[in-house]
Amino acid sequence: MKILVTGGGGFLGQALCRGLVERGHQVLAFNRSHYPELQAMGVGQIRGDLADAQAVLHAVAGVDAVFHNGAKAGAWGSYDSYHQANVVGTDNVLAACRVHGINRLVYTSTPSVTHRATHPVEGLGADEVPYGEDFQAPYAATKAIAEQRVLAANDASLATVALRPRLIWGPGDQQLVPRLAERARQGRLRLVGDGNNKVDTTYIDNAALAHFLAFDALAPGAACAGKAYFISNGEPLPMRELVNKLLAAVGAPSVDKAISFKTAYRIGAVCERLWPLLRLRGEPPLTRFLAEQLCTPHWYSMEPARRDFGYVPQVSIEEGLRRLKASSAA
């Protein structure tokens, strides 16, 4: 089968491409840049922007299914930049699927679409948690709009499913753990609150596996069609323990200092005002959205994903940490 993966050059995107090739599929990746890693896998590459409807239409031509994983992520940037990539881009993918008669679309979403300040989510499935409101971050706001459009597009000719993997990590990650480690080594890393809030994470192989299983089960009228699913390792850990396990795996110092949520929230608000005012480069160290995320329990039930498409995590956190440590030492 010929499959298009949008955002194929990213951390999860490369894992999706690799796994699909291993499963015998012909894989194309739609990215803004060229990736030698994808070339080495035998993945065809089409360069373009998701906000360019014609480019997306061209990329989807001739494929049998689409994994729409491409997005603008992060906690900082203009609303419009997120809207173009995440909402307009998703609209373009859906329209291209219609034009070319694609009948299966797997969409990579995020648990952040249910973010509600410091309201905890503990052990629930996606159908038990409403979409968030008053998002403090354009990423979460635009992903929520896009996910709802993907699910609304599900019908007798196009089956869609949305997966919400929580905090993906593992060898090859260029974002989550490297950033934590850099701040820890500089002595700038702090916990928000007491660090006892339990959180879910997802080892990279499990995140990719969930996509493959959902894809295999997906068809018009299937149990998973038109639905969203939280995806994680199903092993929630206190934030303090999780962060220090990840830091230890990459040889970075542990973090024990903490600041209160109120302090973190105030710092985030100040940063959000100062960064555009002073035209500072890069992302601020803290935002109000990040402060809320860092101190709130977020862990989910994997039962709906197990029931509807057989998702059972294959790599435990302990095994994942062992692999991360081995790759860091290499």
CA distance 171 to 173: 6
User: Per this entry, what is the length of the chain?
Assistant: 330
**Alpha carbon 149 to its chain's center:** 17
CA distance 76 to 272: 9
CA distance 245 to 252: 10
Active-site annotation holder among 35, 82, 107, 139: 139
Residue 131 is a catalytic residue? no
Residue 16 burial by Cβ neighbours in a 10 Å radius (0-12, 13-18, 19+): buried
Helix/strand/coil for 3 = strand
Tokens of 6: 């949008």
CA distance 101 to 313: 32
What residues are annotated to the active site?
Answer: 139
